[in-house]
């Protein structure tokens, strides 16, 4: 065994160009895996403000990273085995049996795995504290004191997962070598030199898959439907990308070959012919690069947009600092809501007790109910069966008098007239014109409003939200009673709340827990024996904490996974450059022998490399452009409505990624040129 171990160590040193990136990649994956797993299991991190989202998102990250690690390690192994099967064949010819070669291979895998695991765990332990500090900074909370990075619950699962992954890869390699003859091992590097044929079935499947994925992305309008079909669209685009790179590229190259004016030129013939003979192997790697690049763009652009736009989300949903409504459920089954005047008195007393000054209080009294909109008619759930999610909307009803008090503007309405406002997208109201039938009564839409004084605040914004102004209390009460009868026990009650703005927001936020406790205590004093307190307090500072927790954690996860995908992209490009270099060296030497100048050979190399390695970047940009409308609608589910911000972040992400991609190309192309020359 000592002999095999020495041979394995010598092989690793001799092939350091291949093994070093492999071990570095695995160490990096292990470090990221360890950091995510530790963040998911660190109880102190989940107790910081906004940290309640960490375990959920980090466990999702662990699952995604485990899948990425398996795919990437299999790709690296495929490349290494292709380069070294000839070496194993020489061992067979010189007298070593396959079982002896297998032992050498075992020690190579053992040494590289142990070094990778040790290096990855060490890096993870070192950088975990930095990552925890970054997350606390993103959450805008105090850093967690002390260190937490060496526990059996995180070290052992990480090491075991990657050692098992490496062992499975070793078993696969051992079986592959055992099934091949020595002659096949010697000729494995030069296998597959026949000119490929166009795979028409695969080409058709690629066009259908990619076209279907694009159609879903462009046609889906509802945010909830976008969320439902997103992964289907992703799978179709991935399948279509692989099929078209494999079959479509051959079709395009053969079409170029048939074009005599293009093909029979010294600059074009070598590049096109060379790509034709190896495009099947190239295509899979190039499709992988395109998919990984698209993944980087999607993860980074969306998470950066969410985090950068959280202030806009707060301003949109919480124009005031605090929203308060309360009441009691009686033993006889009736409910009693406190009037806005009672709520205001309670709030002012509580604010004085806690030493905070109230700048303004708005008294909100409205009816909120969900309806289905079809043919200028609002239906309640159960009245129609055939509808889609775009028909569902949240509707807020107030009187013209309330509208005037809250906004300062006047709306003159007759009994059967209403004014309507699309609360999230004013331009969307163009679909509701003429009349609107509500519970059998047709109301003329007299005016389209571009501001509604009631904030949706804590309500889900994945549905359309509309504000409706009616003429007076009688009309509002008629609608209230009609929906009570139609919805039964699911009917909505009139909402009576106050919206509070404090003179010093930071001071109010600092005593927010005390305000909450004092309001609850005051309600308890007002209640009778047997009453159940109905209490709803929504504050801007709690919403900010929740948004920072969600968006900050998503940003960290997106950047970390994006970095892994970017590194995987760089690694695939690096190995592809090496592989292409070894395959092209003899070809370009022949070209020089038959009369091509060194400059012509260099131009041919540059044209082929540029075509091969910048095609995935162009495809990733195309994918991102097509999926952008779908992502925009998904962002609405997360309450982000600024398309301009999302577009700027996406464009910025693509620009930065393209620059990094160019740097990766320039760095790896040097290795290619060195091999070819």
Q: What is the per-residue pLDDT across 400-426, written as a single tens digit (0 to 9) for each?
A: 998 888 888 888 898 899 999 877 654
Check whether residue 444 and residue 532 sit in a common domain. Answer: yes
DSSP H or E stretch at residue 619: helix 598-637
As a whole number, mean pLDDT of residues 43-55 equals 72
* pLDDT confidence bin for 429, thresholds 50/70/90: very low
Please indicate, yes or no, whether residues 454 and 327 belong to a single structural domain of this protein: yes
537 and 570, same structural domain? Answer: no
3-state SS assignment for residue 413: coil
> Which pLDDT tens digit goes with each residue over 582-608?
666 666 666 666 655 666 666 666 666
Q: What angle do CA 409, 412, 414 make, to 5 degrees?
A: 150
Q: What is the pTM of this model?
A: 0.75
Distance CA 510, CA 541 (A): 9
pLDDT tens digit sequence for 102-142: 788 888 888 889 999 999 999 888 888 888 888 888 777 76
- Domain boundary, last residue among 166, 191, 216: 191
Same domain, 69 and 79: yes
Neighbours of 200 (CB within 10 A): 10
* 200, 178: one domain: no
Judge whether residue 186 has pLDDT over 60: no
Q: How far, in whole angstroms, is CA 587 from its chain's centroid?
A: 43
CA 192 from chain centre, in angstroms, equals 38
* Residue with more model confidence, 264 or 325: 325
361 and 461: one domain? yes
Q: What gap in Å lies between CA 270 and CA 301, rounded to an integer?
A: 39
pLDDT for the residue 192: 45
């693509």: which residue's tokens?
A: 654
Specify whether 169 is located in the same domain as 58: yes
| 263 — pLDDT class (breaks 50, 70, 90) | low
Q: Residue 604: how many CB atoms within 10 A of its CB?
A: 22
Long-range contacts of 52-61 (CB under 8 A, 24+ apart): 52/549, 53/549, 53/550, 53/553, 54/135, 54/549, 54/553, 57/553, 57/554, 57/557, 58/553, 58/557, 60/557, 61/36, 61/557, 61/560, 61/561
How many Å apart are CA 224 and CA 554, to the nearest integer?
Answer: 20
Mark out the alpha helices in 180-324 (DSSP H runs).
182-187, 200-219, 223-243, 249-258, 260-263, 269-308, 310-317
Per-residue pLDDT averaged across 43-57, rounded? 73
Among residues 191, 224, 245, the one where a domain terminates is 191
Residues 171, 36 share a domain: yes
Give me the number of domains the chain comprises: 3
Dihedrals φ, ψ of 318, to 5°?
-135, 70
> Which of these, 468, 341, 499, lies nearest to 400 by C-alpha position?
468
Quick one: pLDDT band at residue 628, thresholds 50, 70, 90? very high
pLDDT of residue 144: 62
CA distance 155 to 504: 47
Q: Are residues 505 and 376 in the same domain?
A: yes
Rounded average pLDDT over 354-378:
89
360 close to 344: Cβ distance less than 8 angstroms: no
The per-residue pLDDT of the chain, averaged, comes to 81
Among 140, 161, 191, residue at a domain's last position: 191
At residue 79, does pLDDT exceed 50? Answer: yes
Structural domain boundaries enclosing 163: 1-191
Where are the extended beta strands (E) located within 57-150? Answer: none
Name the more confident of 80 and 639. Answer: 80
C-beta separation of 139 from 39 below 8 A: no
Whether 549 and 531 map to the same domain: the answer is no
In whole angstroms, how large is the CA radius of gyration of the chain? 32
Q: Is 178 exposed, middle or buried (0-12, 13-18, 19+ CB in 10 A)?
A: exposed
Q: Tell how strand 322-329 and strand 494-502 pair up.
A: antiparallel
Let me know whether 203 and 173 are in one domain.
Answer: no
In this structure, are 438 and 528 located in the same domain? yes
């Amino acid at each position: 065994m000592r002999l095999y171990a020495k041979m394995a160590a010598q092989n690793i040193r001799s092939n350091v160009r291949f093994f070093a990136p492999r071990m570095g990649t695995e160490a990096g994956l292990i470090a990221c895996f360890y950091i995510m797993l530790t963040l998911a299991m660190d109880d102190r991190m989940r107790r910081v403000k906004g940290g309640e989202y960490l375990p959920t998102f980090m466990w999702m990250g662990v699952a995604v990273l485990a899948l990425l690690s398996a795919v990437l390690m299999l790709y690296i192994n495929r490349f290494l085995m292709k380069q070294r099967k000839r070496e194993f064949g020489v061992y067979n010819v010189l007298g070593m049996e396959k079982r002896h070669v297998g032992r050498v291979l075992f020690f190579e895998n053992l040494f590289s795995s142990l070094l990778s695991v040790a290096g990855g765990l060490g890096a993870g332990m070192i950088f975990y504290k930095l990552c925890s500090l970054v997350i606390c900074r993103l959450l805008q909370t105090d850093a967690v004191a002390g260190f937490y990075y060496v526990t059996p619950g995180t070290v052992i699962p990480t090491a075991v997962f990657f050692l098992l992954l490496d062992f499975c890869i070793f078993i696969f390699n051992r079986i592959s070598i055992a099934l091949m003859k020595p002659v096949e091992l010697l000729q494995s590097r030069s296998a597959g030199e026949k000119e490929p044929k166009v795979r028409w079935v695969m080409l058709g499947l690629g066009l259908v898959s990619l076209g279907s994925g694009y159609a879903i992305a462009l046609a889906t309008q509802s945010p909830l439907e976008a969320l439902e079909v997103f992964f289907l669209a992703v799978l179709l685009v991935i399948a279509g990308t692989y099929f078209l790179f494999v079959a479509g590229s051959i079709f395009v190259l053969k079409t170029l070959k048939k074009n005599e004016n293009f093909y029979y030129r010294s600059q074009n013939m070598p590049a096109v012919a060379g790509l034709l003979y190896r495009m099947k192997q190239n295509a899979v790697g190039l499709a992988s690069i395109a998919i990984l690049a698209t993944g980087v763009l999607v993860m980074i652009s969306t998470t950066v947009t969410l985090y950068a736009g959280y202030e806009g989300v707060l301003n949109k949903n919480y124009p005031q600092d605090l929203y308060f409504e309360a009441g009691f459920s009686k033993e006889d089954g009736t409910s009693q809501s406190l009037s806005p005047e009672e709520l205001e008195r309670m709030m002012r007393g509580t604010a004085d007790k806690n030493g905070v000054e109230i700048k303004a209080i708005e008294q909100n009294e409205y009816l909120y109910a969900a309806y289905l909109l079809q043919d200028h008619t609002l239906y309640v759930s159960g009245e129609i069966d055939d509808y889609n999610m775009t028909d569902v909307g949240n509707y807020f009803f107030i009187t013209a008098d309330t509208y005037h008090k809250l906004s300062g503007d006047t709306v003159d309405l007759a009994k059967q007239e209403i004014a309507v406002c699309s609360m999230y997208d004013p331009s969307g109201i163009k679909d509701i014109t003429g009349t609107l039938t509500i519970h059998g009564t047709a109301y003329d839409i007299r005016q389209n409003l571009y501001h509604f004084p009631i904030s949706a605040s804590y309500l889900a914004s994945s549905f359309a939200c509309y504000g409706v102004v009616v003429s007076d209390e009688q009309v509002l009460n008629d609608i209230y009673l009609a929906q009570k009868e139609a919805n039964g026990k699911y009917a909505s009650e009139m909402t009576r709340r106050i919206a509070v703005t404090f003179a010093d927001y930071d001071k109010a936020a600092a005593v927010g827990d005390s305000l909450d406790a004092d309001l609850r205590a005051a309600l308890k004093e007002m209640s009778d024996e047997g009453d159940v307190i109905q209490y709803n307090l929504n504050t801007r500072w709690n919403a900010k904490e929740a948004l920072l927790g969600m968006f900050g954690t998503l940003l960290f996860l997106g950047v970390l996974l994006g970095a892994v995908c970017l590194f995987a992209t760089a690694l695939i490009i690096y190995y592809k450059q090496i592989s292409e270099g070894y395959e092209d060296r003899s070809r370009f030497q022949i070209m020089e022998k038959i009369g091509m100048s060194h400059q012509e050979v260099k131009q041919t190399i540059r044209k082929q490399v540029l075509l091969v390695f910048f095609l995935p970047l162009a495809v990733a940009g195309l994918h991102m452009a097509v999926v952008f409308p779908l992502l925009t609608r998904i962002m609405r589910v997360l309450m982000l409505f600024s398309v301009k911000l999302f577009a700027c972040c996406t464009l910025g992400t693509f620009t930065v990624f393209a620059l990094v991609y160019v740097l990766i190309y320039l760095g790896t192309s040097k290795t290619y040129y060195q091999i070819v020359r």
